[in-house]
Amino acid sequence: MEKQRLDKIIASTGKWSRREAKELIRQGRVLVDGVPARSAEERADPETAAVTVNGEVLEYRRYTWVMLNKPAGCLSATEDGRGQTVLDLLPADLRRQGLFPVGRLDKDTEGLLLLTNEGGLAHALLSPKRHVDKVYYTRVTGRLTEADCQAFAGGLTLADGLVCLPAGLEILSAGEESEAYVTLREGKFHQVKRMLACLGKPVAYLERIRMGPLALDRDLPRGAFRFLTENELEELRRFDNPTKNVKSSPKT
Ligand code: URA
């Protein structure tokens, strides 16, 4: 791999900002292959060099993955001239890493949003072929019924002709307002809202609580983010192109 500046390598772990990395280097706490680093501009190959910080071996990550607990009121976009975006909730160091949201949540939708700079895996997670379930908690106006669940399971056809894949609707409470979990395998524009509106039960509140194997971390306050753990990343990678590592059989 191409050599990179030491402060960049250290900051890529997400544990320290570049400014903190510079300070650690200045204090002599960073070693490269056993030799104290002299400056942040020093370059090393992050995949082969043994970089230690305070005596601990640094785990270099080629790509960054974060889980954000999106609040209402910000856009799932990388930039927007008019309003706050989810990128604005991240520190400057991370914003410089070219992160983008994995799929979109509406401005008023809250909850689990992944951001990364790993295009291939992000794309795989969004593909309906990969069967990555997205689960939402919703509150709707009106009484949800068993017939609504069956309509979801059968694949709704919306007023504009969009045919939805079979989806899950699990009623949590039913009354003048109802609560439910909705499970989708695809992510069309305003899909949950359109599906429920089509049944005459408009969405009053929507929160994504799961994406494939990853549940929204309930310890993450609204508006806060954290890095995905190695285990979480491994779980996500199972959804990457399953044929990628399989050698094709020779043509006869
Ligand atoms: N479906 C919606 O209607 N809105 C979202 O933000 C996500 C799914």
The reported pTM is 0.84
How far is residue 226's CA from residue 216's CA, in Å, rounded to a whole number? 11
How far is residue 169's CA from residue 64's CA, in Å, rounded to a whole number? 33
Look at residues 91, 126, 84, 90 and name the one whose alpha carbon lies nearest to residue 108.
Answer: 84
The Cα angle at residue 214 between residues 118 and 66, in degrees rounded to 5: 40
Query: Which ranges in the chain are annotated with CATH 3.10.290.10?
Result: 4-57
Enter the tokens of residue 97.
């890493």
Give strand ranges (E) for 149-202: 168-173, 177-184
Question: Phi and psi for 74 in degrees, rounded to 5?
Answer: -120, 155
How far is residue 252's CA from residue 102's CA, in Å, rounded to a whole number? 41
Atom of ligand 1 nearest to the CA of 104: 6
pLDDT attached to residue 243 = 53
Reply yes or no on whether 133 is catalytic: no
Question: Phi and psi for 75 in degrees, rounded to 5?
Answer: -95, 145
Q: What is the pLDDT of residues 128-182, one digit of tens each?
A: 788 899 999 999 999 999 999 999 999 999 989 999 999 999 999 999 999 999 9
Atom of ligand 1 nearest to the CA of 106: 6
Q: Convert 4-21 to b/e letters by CB count within 10 Å (16 or more is b).
A: bbbbbbbbbbbebbbeeb
How far is residue 8's CA from residue 31's CA, in Å, rounded to a whole number? 15
CATH 3.40.718.10, domain 65-128+213-240, yes or no? no
The Cα angle at residue 163 between residues 237 and 144, in degrees rounded to 5: 90
Q: Residue 246 has what DSSP assignment?
A: S
The one-letter amino acid at 222: R
pLDDT attached to residue 11 = 84
pLDDT attached to residue 84 = 92
Mutate to test the pocket of ligand 1, among 74, 109, 194 (most ligand atoms within 8 A of CB): 109
pLDDT < 50 regions, the chain: 244-252
- Residue 107, CA distances (Å) to 38, 58, 75, 187, 252 in order: 46, 37, 5, 15, 54
Going from the Cα of 11 to the center of ligand 1, the distance in angstroms, rounded, reads 33
How far is residue 191's CA from residue 197's CA, in Å, rounded to a whole number? 10
Ligand 1 pocket, CB under 6 A: 105-106, 109, 190-193, 206
Going from the Cα of 106 to the center of ligand 1, the distance in angstroms, rounded, reads 6
pLDDT attached to residue 135 = 98
Enter the tokens of residue 252.
């006869």
How far is residue 20's CA from residue 9's CA, in Å, rounded to a whole number? 12
Which residues fall within 8 angstroms of residue 157, CB to CB, at 6 or more apart? 163, 164
How far is residue 246's CA from residue 249's CA, in Å, rounded to a whole number? 9
Going from the Cα of 206 to the center of ligand 1, the distance in angstroms, rounded, reads 7
Active-site residue (options: 80, 106, 217, 240): 106
pLDDT attached to residue 121 = 93
Query: Which ranges in the chain are annotated with CATH 3.30.70.1560?
Result: 134-211
Going from the Cα of 241 to the center of ligand 1, the distance in angstroms, rounded, reads 26
Structure-token match 């307002």, residue found: 177
Atom of ligand 1 nearest to the CA of 109: 6
Enter the tokens of residue 249.
């059989």
Which residues fall within 8 angstroms of residue 213, CB to CB, at 6 or more apart? 232, 235, 236, 238
CATH number of 4-57, picked from 3.40.50.12240, 3.40.50.300, 3.40.50.2300, 3.10.290.10:
3.10.290.10
Which fold, 134-211?
Answer: Alpha-Beta Plaits (3.30.70)
Residue with CA closest to ligand 1 atom 2: 190
Q: What is the pLDDT of residues 124-134, one digit of tens each?
A: 998 878 889 99
pLDDT attached to residue 78 = 83
